[in-house]
Amino acid sequence: MALDPDRLFPIEPSARQLARELFTTVCDLAIISPHGHTDPRWFAENGHFPDPAQLFVTPDHYVFRMLHSQGIPLENLGVPRVDGGPTEQDGRKIWQIFAENYHLFRATPSRMWIDHSFAHVFGLDGDLCSDTADIFYDHIAACLEQDEFRPRQLFDRMGIEVLSTTESAIDPLNWHQIAQQSDWNGRVITAYRPDNVIDPDYEGFAENVATFGELTDEDTTTWQGYLAAHRKRRAFFKTCGATSSDHGHPTARTECLQQDQAAGLLAKALKGTCSAEEADAFRGHMLNEMARMSLDDGLVLQIHPGSLRNHAGVMMARFGRDIGFDIPTRTDFVRALRPLLDAVGTDPRLTIIVFALDETTLSRELAPLAGVYPALKLGPPWWFFDSPHGMMRFRELTTETAGFYNTVGFNDDTRAFCSIPARHDMARRVDCAYLAKLVRSGRLQENDAFELAHDLAYGLAKKAYRL
């Protein structure tokens, strides 16, 4: 498992040497993780992780979707079922399946992340396979029994300065409050994710909105009460450190409807009578409402469009959301974002970070938009493109039009806690490789490359997310 110290650097010798020098200046910088999906309960309770499978396999949809693609049932990997039906609970059995099929991850970013975690977090060498499965399992399990491998201790040892989780608008945020009230100084914050009270197609939408009203003491069946509930919950999320909201809509559509039109759509949504077009219009209008609230409360607005989520209905019915069946789709940004950008795009007080899963839009649409609208910034390569080639393509497709400073650095967007330093290591290496090639081809001065390396690894994310 010897990790190549020059992995992801250019092959050409002089560019490789410069990439090494650049990376040396950023490899040990603190990690800013402004968008992710780790469990705040880990940091509130600071209990031991139960076993290696629960750390590396069962919570990571990058891992179990690949295994499932080869015919392995999710039940065999311990993924919980909606109905509470039986799934494998023996961590060693899950780990054996993982080890026997570890070859499936060759040349994937998952393989690089996991190998990095094995080596740098747990001090393992050798290769994971069927024959070494028990050796790896026993070593990791023994580590997890030690206090230095509890969540808070790992957080500190990984050099994380701040980590954001993501919670729904009706989450009580109990775990965040417990962590804040403890004597631990680690900074774990939340982000406001209101999809389940904004998307009429979200399961249980009307019930969620009713709960939303109960939490805020507002009549959320009325338009003004519904908006007031959002303002109150956003304010509450800020008490738990939130600096951003996050919106995972199917499309990038935005709308600027009349208030009576929006109120009418809310009424239909609560009755469950919205058409697909009306539901999309309501989601689009709510992005405008969220932007206006951001001007008041300062939350950064993140938009994650372009994923057809829960593609396999039968799997969602069996296992619920977020089990690897979310698939990228073609996305229009120029026309879709225009109502939002017409309304607030030229206001420098607002930061709108847009993520894309349709790479064809990067140079044609998103870079030109971010290159002129003060409020708009480009989020880093996300999900299926959170990879060495995806990161390099992103820089190549956007830099000439949007520059570096209309992007926001890197975020790891992960549920897999131990992969956080591995993902940042990958991003820093790719960015250093890109900068080195720019210098060696005469397009960037060397002293500027060193400054940019720091900004891309640390400064831009901290600034964009107001951390």
- The end-to-end CA distance of the chain, in Å, is 36
pLDDT tens digit sequence for 102-117: 999 999 999 999 999 9
How distant is the alpha carbon of residue 104 from its chain centre? Answer: 24
Distance CA 284, CA 4 (A): 46
Range 27-31 average pLDDT: 98
Read off the pLDDT band of 322 (50, 70, 90). Answer: confident
Range 14-19 average pLDDT: 98
The percentage of residues in the chain with a pLDDT greater than 90, rounded to a whole number, is 97
Read off the pLDDT band of 2 (50, 70, 90). Answer: confident
pLDDT tens digit sequence for 38-59: 999 999 999 999 999 999 999 9
pLDDT tens digit sequence for 62-101: 999 999 999 999 999 999 999 999 999 999 999 999 999 9
Range 166-182 average pLDDT: 98
- Write down the pLDDT at residue 103: 97
Over the chain, what HEC string results?
CCCCCCCCCCCCHHHHHHHHHHHHHHCCCCEEECCCCCCHHHHHHCCCCCCHHHHHCCCCHHHHHHHHHCCCCHHHHCCCCCCCCCCCCCHHHHHHHHHHCHHHHCCCHHHHHHHHHHHHCCCCCCCCCHHHHHHHHHHHHHHHCCHHHCHHHHHHHCCEEEEECCEECCCCCHHHHHHHHCCCCCCEECCEECHHHHCCCCCCHHHHHHHHHHHHCCCCCCHHHHHHHHHHHHHHHHHCCCCEEEECCCCCCCCCCCHHHHHHHHHHHHHCCCCHHHHHHHHHHHHHHHHHHHHHHCCEEEECCCEECCCCHHHHHHHCCCCCCCEECCCCCCCCCHHHHHHHCCCCCCCEEECCCCCHHHHHHHHHHHCCCCCEEECCCCHHHCCHHHHHHHHHHHHHHHCCCCECCCCCCCCCHHHHHHHHHHHHHHHHHHHHHHHHCCCCCHHHHHHHHHHHHHHHHHHHCCC
Range 152-166 average pLDDT: 98
Range 22-36 average pLDDT: 98
pLDDT tens digit sequence for 343-377: 999 999 999 999 999 999 999 999 999 999 999 99
Range 137-160 average pLDDT: 98
Choice among 258-272, 275-289, 319-333 with the minimum mean pLDDT: 319-333
The percentage of residues in the chain with a pLDDT greater than 70, rounded to a whole number, is 100
Q: Order of strands, edge to edge, in the sheet holding 188-189?
A: 31-33, 160-164, 188-189
- Write down the pLDDT at residue 67: 97
- Write down the pLDDT at residue 1: 60
What's the predicted TM-score (pTM) here? 0.96
**Mean pLDDT for all residues in the chain:** 97
- Write down the pLDDT at residue 431: 98
User: Dihedral sign, CA of 224, 269, 234, 331?
Assistant: negative
pLDDT tens digit sequence for 124-137: 999 999 999 999 99
